Amino acid sequence: MESRLYMAQTIANRVKELRAARGWTQEKLAHAVGVSRQSVNSIERNRYVPSLELALTFARVFACATDEIFQLQQSTADAEVER
């Protein structure tokens, strides 16, 4: 059995959805979590995975658990191998 440490995984997020539900701009969210608007944009587009510290800050700002914002997803190829 292959170790899960070497399986390709991606991290999906709901940052854009949660931001939009509050009627916030990327700029307002960026200010709330202490990063640039460009960083928020990159996170929303799944081009950048935030640090644990930043993920926890998002959770505090959105008043929800980190796993309600960020989800670890296994790649489709790896899911087929496990079956």
pLDDT along the chain (83 residues), means of 10: 64 97 98 98 96 98 98 69 51
What element of type H or E holds 4?
A: none
Please tell me the predicted confidence (pLDDT) of residue 74.
79
Residue 6 CB neighbours (<10 A): 8
Q: Which of 8, 74, 47 is nearest to 16 (CA)?
A: 47
What integer pLDDT is reported at residue 40 of this predicted model? 98
Burial class, 42, CB count within 10 angstroms (exposed 0-12 / middle 13-18 / buried 19+): middle
**pTM for this prediction:** 0.80
